[in-house]
């Protein structure tokens, strides 16, 4: 029983260490100047064709960044030279952190009508 409790505790520690970090995501979003295109509140992009990011699902945002990083010529990749340039230096943890931050923001997105 004692071994099980220790194993569970160690598992919880490693899970917490790999969990997305909202504060770090905010710092990365500022570093990469995401607001320059997606708006200061991430709800008012400078062009109507750019997506609103605030309130989006974190896993979707991580997936989208990964797809931009892969590029349009790869399976499940996205082709956008601007976003590809921003996504290339990001690690998987960076993408998870950015996704967590943007998902935590107040949103104008409509889930159901």
Query: Domain holding 81: CATH number?
Result: 1.10.760.10
Q: Residue 41 domain-assigned?
A: yes
To 5 degrees, how large is the angle CA 28–CA 74–CA 70? 10
Q: Residue 38 domain-assigned?
A: yes
Predicted pLDDT at 2: 54
Q: Residue 4 domain-assigned?
A: no
Predicted pLDDT at 66: 96
How far lies 64's CA from each of 60, 71, 92, 94, in Å? 6, 11, 12, 13
Q: Residue 113 domain-assigned?
A: no
**Sequence-distant (≥ 6) Cβ neighbours of residue 67 within 8 angstroms:** 76, 77, 78
Q: Residue 5 domain-assigned?
A: no
Predicted pLDDT at 33: 96
Predicted pLDDT at 1: 54
Predicted pLDDT at 37: 97
Residues in the chain, pLDDT under 50? 4-9, 12-17
Q: Residue 59 domain-assigned?
A: yes
Q: Residue 91 domain-assigned?
A: yes
Overall number of domains in the chain = 1
Which residue range is the domain that position 81 belongs to? 21-103
Q: Residue 10 domain-assigned?
A: no
């Amino acid at each position: 029983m004692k071994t099980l409790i220790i194993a569970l505790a160690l598992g919880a520690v490693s899970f917490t260490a790999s969990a997305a970090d909202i504060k770090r995501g905010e710092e990365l979003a500022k570093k990469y100047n995401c607001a320059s295109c997606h708006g200061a509140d991430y709800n008012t992009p400078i062009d109507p064709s750019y997506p609103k990011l605030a309130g989006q699902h974190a896993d979707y945002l991580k997936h989208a960044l990964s797809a931009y990083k892969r590029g349009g010529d790869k399976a499940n990749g996205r082709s956008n030279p601007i976003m590809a340039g921003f996504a290339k230096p990001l690690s998987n943890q960076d993408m998870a952190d950015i996704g967590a931050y943007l998902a935590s923001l107040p949103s104008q997105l409509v889930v159901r009508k």
